[in-house]
Amino acid sequence: MMSGLRTILKRSVLLALIVIAAPIRADEGMWLPSLIGERIDDMRAKGFRLTAEDIYSVNAASMKDAVVLFNGGCTGELISPEGLLVTNHHCGYGAIQSHSTVEHDYLTHGFWAQNREEELPNETLWVRFLVRMEEVTDRLAAGESTEKIREEASERGRYRTAIEQMYYGNQQFLFVYEQFDDVRLVAAPPSSIGKFGGDTDNWMWPRHTGDFSLFRIYADAQNRPAKFSRKNGPYRPKRYFPVSTKGIGEGDFTMIYGFPGNTQQYVTADAVAYVVEQSDPMKIDLRTRRLEIISAAQEADAATRIRYAAKHASIANAWKKWQGELLGLQRLGTVAQKQAYEAEFARWAAGRPEYAQLLDSLHAAYRTAAEGYYRQELCNESVKGIELTTLGAALKQYAAKPSEALAERIAKLYRDYDPAIDRRVAAEMLHGLEQYHPRPLPEAYTAETARHGGIEGYADHLFTASAIVSYETVEPLLRDTAALRRTLAEEPVLRLVGIFDRGRIPRNLSNLPAIERWYRPYMKALREFDRERPFYPDANLTLRVAYGEVAGYWYADAVYHRPLTTLDGIIAKDDPTIYDYDIPEQLRERYAAKDYGRWGIPAADGGVTVPVCFLATTHTTGGNSGSPVINADGELVGINFDRTWRSTMSDLQFDPAICRNIAVDIRYVLFTIDRIGGAGYLLEEMELR
């Protein structure tokens, strides 16, 4: 893999045709739902048959009331009047894993509650509905404080509130949420369906992954949020999505409603160059090394495979995304395109004193801040890639403010921890740290490595001299926080962290205060300079609407990727000797007998098959996992779960030729529930059309 990466990095950038901010394409953009009326004509021209009020309304039930932020990082949607919620399998993965043991391996075999009593509670899982959003830019400019606005909107603590910046602070919006904390696992397919293709197929097309899981929201007798209680009943939503069984085809309208996490559409060439030349290559390499060690351990032991499953998936997801991002940005020549655009802007700004020096100021800010940011990113991927540092951080938090919930979290961390694996990771991460760290290395670090005979000896020392490697030694310390604090003060791995760690940094280099301060006037200037371009705000984990159509794309010369996959493709990949492609025997049997029930569709060869996944042109990113894919009539046709590999660069630049989101066809979800899980009773509470 690394030789291929080096080839990528050495490859000269192929300059694409420079397009200076042509008007935005209908399939690009993540639009604020409260302002969707500004886009509704374009949506209807593409086939949408409902109104802006159907999408977002404060005064009446609307689609927004059927969409939730799922546990802070994904999206979910309501599909029944009894609080039934569907999201991705990978979004529910942690909950599924937490209930799994070697004896009851729900990851491998799936979980299907046959009644409400069998639904499994999850102590730390929550969902959040958007109640309303409103612009408060003028109120803040008039002197109102964010605290006052938020406090008033919370209605004495009933709602959670946040004020979020759009366009780097040129506009401010208040978001009001209602959070539910009693969310129970209802069903999950076997990982051989929900994670079919695994890391091999992740971010790729064609895809055949049944990436879904089912949960149910519970509420008190007044339908209000409540902590877990057997007295709670299913939440009665204001709105839920009807489920289409009619299917979709190429060219059909699609809309995604969800919580995209992070994009950087308007950053300068400096930011893109940092990603392409420094950040992505380093992070890809270090995660490759971690994954190789963890994968080898998983292959050698079934219990380790389960304990490290969620960790492996978490590490691998971003790892592969960065690879595709790097390829996509290089293919498009995004750095060069940005430079050309900025040159045009500079010529325009030269005659406007308030804007003339903006680009120079941005360039200078990047030059000053980039190395410090890079050092912290390197620390996060190398030093903090050692799992023992995570344990140390959790224990420090407990020592400062003990709680039963944190004690339980620490116990769980240790249950899923193997020091032998981590010792091997530690040595590899220290090698990577030295490889990528700007010279000179800190004297405190070189003194430690010299004292212990080099990297391998130092890695050994981190574990042999540690008092927190084992839960058996940690557990008594949880009852004596003074002793715990004394122990942590002498902990070698925490001293290592202290040498390199300079604290939390923003997700992106461009969000450093020293840089971001220049983006507020820059965005204002861009919107004056480029008046034909409809600007949408960057994603920031607030609710957004995106829309496009079902469409394939040209992957390479003479290679066209059609937008629909079927069960036939799963069978073609099926290989019991490869974990990622070993499907359940039950699925093989259904295929052999063509026993698809009501979910069969005509196949290309004249037979019968089952639809599995599809592509669309909709603009998505992380956080959109689990988002509903909605047809022109407002019906659920799929669940978004991924993007194609090279289109991951759409966080920085959207390319309509190749940028595609990947969704599981809702008919495959229904087929799996019905014919594989034997949980057809769940379909009875859905509105199937």
Give Cα separations from 73 to 138, 234, 621 (angstroms).
30, 23, 11
Report phi then psi at 213, rounded to 5: -150, 155
* Per-residue pLDDT at 261 exceeds 50: yes
* Per-residue pLDDT at 435 exceeds 50: yes
What DSSP letter does each residue of 385-431 carry, written as one string? GSHHHHHHHHHHHHHHS--HHHHHHHHHHHHT--HHHHHHHHHHHHH
Q: In this predicted structure, what is the pLDDT of residue 217?
A: 98
pLDDT, one tens digit per residue, over 331-357 is 999 999 999 999 999 999 999 999 999
SS3 category, 130: strand
Which is nearest to 618 in space by CA: 557, 554, 563, 560?
Answer: 563
How many Cβ atoms are within 10 Å of 517's Cβ, its own excluded?
A: 15
Q: In this predicted structure, what is the pLDDT of residue 388?
A: 97
Kind and range of the H or E element at 532? none
pLDDT, one tens digit per residue, over 545-596 is 999 999 999 988 899 999 999 999 999 999 998 888 999 999 999 999 999 9
Contact 278, 6 (CB under 8 A): no
Q: Please give the average per-residue pLDDT across 58-74, as a whole number.
A: 97
Tokens of 328: 């996509």
Q: In this predicted structure, what is the pLDDT of residue 604?
A: 86
**Angle value at C-alpha 60, between 55 and 64, nearest 5 degrees:** 35
The single residue listed with the structure tokens 């194609």 is 644
Q: In this predicted structure, what is the pLDDT of residue 4?
A: 43
Q: Is 26 exposed, middle or buried (0-12, 13-18, 19+ CB in 10 A)?
A: middle
User: Residues 346-381, buried b or exposed e (16+ Cβ, 10 A)?
Assistant: eebbeeeeebeebbeebeebbeebbeebbbbbbbbb
Band (pLDDT 50/70/90 cuts) for residue 177 is very high
Band (pLDDT 50/70/90 cuts) for residue 405 is confident
* pTM (predicted TM-score): 0.86
Q: Please give the average per-residue pLDDT across 656-679, as a whole number.
A: 96
Q: Please give the average per-residue pLDDT across 682-689, as a whole number.
A: 97
Q: In this predicted structure, what is the pLDDT of residue 1?
A: 39
* Per-residue pLDDT at 198 exceeds 90: no
Report phi then psi at 558, rounded to 5: 70, 10
Q: In this predicted structure, what is the pLDDT of residue 6?
A: 39
Contact 536, 35 (CB under 8 A): no
* Per-residue pLDDT at 12 exceeds 70: no
* Per-residue pLDDT at 199 exceeds 90: no
Contact 604, 645 (CB under 8 A): no
pLDDT, one tens digit per residue, over 593-610 is 999 999 999 998 889 999
Q: Among 13-17, 254-258, 337-341, 501-505, which is the least confidently predicted range? A: 13-17
Task: Kindly state the percentage of the chain with pLDDT values over 90.
Answer: 87
Catalytic site residue from 100, 244, 510, 625: 625
Which is nearest to 631 in space by CA: 81, 239, 246, 213?
Answer: 246
Q: Which residues contact 614 (CB under 8 A, 6 or more apart)?
A: 248, 550, 563, 564, 565, 638, 662, 663, 665
Q: In this predicted structure, what is the pLDDT of residue 611?
A: 98
Catalytic site residue from 27, 65, 90, 647: 90
Q: In this predicted structure, what is the pLDDT of residue 290?
A: 97
Kind and range of the H or E element at 174? strand 171-180
Q: In this predicted structure, what is the pLDDT of residue 9?
A: 37
* Per-residue pLDDT at 413 exceeds 70: yes
What DSSP letter does each residue of 452-493 carry, written as one string? TTSHHHHHHHHHHT-SSS-HHHHHHHTT-HHHHHHHHHT-HH
Q: In this predicted structure, what is the pLDDT of residue 640?
A: 98
Q: In this predicted structure, what is the pLDDT of residue 29?
A: 95
User: Residues 89-123, buried b or exposed e (16+ Cβ, 10 A)?
Assistant: bbbbbbbbbbbbeeeebbbbebbbbeeeeebbbbe
- Residue 211 catalytic? yes
* Per-residue pLDDT at 10 exceeds 80: no
* Per-residue pLDDT at 3 exceeds 60: no
Q: Please give the average per-residue pLDDT across 110-137, as a whole number.
A: 96
**Angle value at C-alpha 510, between 17 and 283, nearest 5 degrees:** 85
Report phi then psi at 173, rounded to 5: -125, 140
Q: Please give the average per-residue pLDDT across 515-532, as a whole number.
A: 96
How many Cβ atoms are within 10 Å of 531's Cβ, its own excluded?
A: 8
Q: In this predicted structure, what is the pLDDT of residue 7?
A: 39
Largest CA distance in the chain: 75
Q: In this predicted structure, what is the pLDDT of residue 113?
A: 96
Catalytic site residue from 211, 280, 530, 538: 211
Band (pLDDT 50/70/90 cuts) for residue 306 is confident
Q: In this predicted structure, what is the pLDDT of residue 16?
A: 35
* Per-residue pLDDT at 19 exceeds 80: no
Band (pLDDT 50/70/90 cuts) for residue 23 is very low
Task: Kindly state the percentage of the chain with pLDDT values over 70.
Answer: 96
Q: Among 10-14, 173-177, 334-338, 475-479, which is the least confidently predicted range? A: 10-14
Ramachandran category for residue 367: left, alpha or beta (phi over 0 → left; psi -120 to 50 → alpha): alpha
- When the pLDDT of each residue in the chain is averaged and rounded to a whole number, the result is 93
Q: Please give the average per-residue pLDDT across 628-638, as a whole number.
A: 98
* Per-residue pLDDT at 670 exceeds 50: yes
Q: Please give the average per-residue pLDDT across 460-473, as a whole number.
A: 96
Q: In this predicted structure, what is the pLDDT of residue 18?
A: 34
CA 287 to chain centre: 17
Tokens of 94: 């942690």
Q: In this predicted structure, what is the pLDDT of residue 305?
A: 87
- Residue 619 catalytic? no
- Residue 90 catalytic? yes
